[in-house]
Amino acid sequence: MTYNYELLIIGAGSAGLAAAKRAASYGVQVAIVEQEQLGGVCTNRGCIPKKLMVYAADFATAIDDAKQYGWSVSKGTFDWQQFIHVRDRELARIHQSQQDSLSKAGVELIRGHAAFLDAHTVAIDDRPITADKILIAVGGKPNKPPISGIEYTITSREMFQLQELPSHLAIIGGGYIGVEFGSTLRSLGVNITLIETSEYILSGFDHDIQKIVQQGLEQRGIQIIHQAKAREIKPVANRLQLTTDGKTSETITVDTILCATGRTPNLESLNLDKAGVALKDKAIAVDEYSRTTQDNIFAVGDCTDRLPLTPVARTEGHAFADTVFGHHPRKLDYERIPSAVFARPEAASIGMTESRACEIYGEDAIECDRTEFTPLYNRLSGSNQSALFKRVIHRETDRILGVHLVCDHAAEIIQGITLAIQQGVTKQEMKHTIGIHPTSAEELFE
């Protein structure tokens, strides 16, 4: 049978763009469909604008710290509108760069909404297009729980569309999205109240990271309501009233409420049933090579039941193209993938948490090196924020199973040891490594 394309990709986010260009490099005729801006969540409503916001917020602390280092500086003021202007200018540059890279690779960009008609046919705004193989890379979207008045909340998508900063922001959810927004906006002068269902924020991270980041946020004036759930939201005199249930019932009045209770695959209106694509826990079920239950259809990125991280999605896109078109089968190791929380304090991890390692190997088989110290920078700045370096070690083999950091530039530091952890570095090998002095990272080699 003759098809319009050898490969049709639905979604031009990180995963889709990576797969399109890699497949095209193998001489494949590729088209990619996108109904919004190129780059997906990461470029437009996630990683990039978020990190730019973090950079903007860091100047507030830097100005205060400068005085302790001998500088005579005024406090200065932050212009949110000016920041939006330069941020959007940078995003526009990225969009153009992404479009240029598709053109250079010979990938056809089709604008519109895609929905399956059958396993080889997709309707794009009622225009049928056929392909031998189809890759689904539609990403995820914010999830809102069934709370009375939840319609009055905004999600991470709308956070980047705010025309002015609120005076008081409540955040429902203490995962990395809620924590990062809370931390960043606190630096920009916003009062923050964060509602978390557990005793500690950042579920899934090592307990020491949870504890130290939480302490750091509270020291900066962020109110965290622990072991509580949002029960009701209602408008009151141009503001919003939020009532929680938990150990105690609390009612607070704020300007804006951010719902950061997780994300879900963006699968609405795709008509996956018509293509014979099955789901698992509301995500597309795939095998280790990203193949769905329909042989010619694949899925990568946040729409699958795997790790929802941009570098993972991008690598899955590359691996799909290498496997299917490059004839070099590749599958990912999801056990040793680094992650970070761009809060202040910043945290980063790779590998197993202490609890996970004990669960797999038993408590007696695991030892942990834990170092907490005051960074040199903080000695003059006056900050009482400590740094944490933790290694999770398998006693019998001496292999380092996980590393967990809380410190300035934690994400940059974790990158430097990721390959070592993936290659099975031991505690002894790391101990014999000579670090750079004076740095925080040298503590890893002590």
Q: Please report, in range form, the residues annotated as the binding site for NAD(+).
A: 173-180, 196, 262
Write b or e for each residue in 327-342: b if 16 or more Cβ atoms lie within 10 A of its Cβ, otherwise e.
eeebebeeebbbbbbb
Q: Output the known binding site for FAD.
A: 51, 302
Coil/strand/helix, residue 233:
strand
- Contacting residues for 283 by C-beta, under 8 A, at least 6 apart: 265, 267, 303, 304, 305
For the chain, the distance separating the N- and C-terminal CA atoms, rounded to the nearest angstrom, is 64
DSSP state letters, 386-429: -EEEEEEEETTT-BEEEEEEESTTHHHHHHHHHHHHHTT-BHHH
The catalytically annotated residue of 85, 404, 409, 437 is 437
d(CA 226, CA 97) in angstroms, rounded, equals 44
> Which of 390, 370, 374 is CA-nearest to residue 382?
374
Going by DSSP bridges, is the β-strand pair 127-136/297-299 parallel, antiparallel, or unpaired? parallel
Instruction: State both tokens at 165.
Output: 């900063």
Tell the residue number behind the tokens 């759930």, with chain if given: 229
Element (H, E) at 265: strand 263-265
Among the listed residues 237, 87, 93, 253, the one whose alpha carbon sits nearest the alpha carbon of residue 161: 87
Residues belonging to the binding site are 51, 173-180, 196, 262, 302
- Would you call 437 a catalytic residue per the annotation? yes
Q: Which long-range contacts (CB under 8 A, 24 or more apart) does 185-188 make?
A: 185/57, 186/217, 186/220, 186/221, 186/222, 187/57, 187/58, 187/60, 187/61, 187/220, 187/344, 188/56, 188/57, 188/60, 188/78, 188/80
Question: Are β-strands 5-10 and 121-124 bridged in parallel, bridged antiparallel, or unpaired?
Answer: unpaired
Active-site residues: which are they?
437
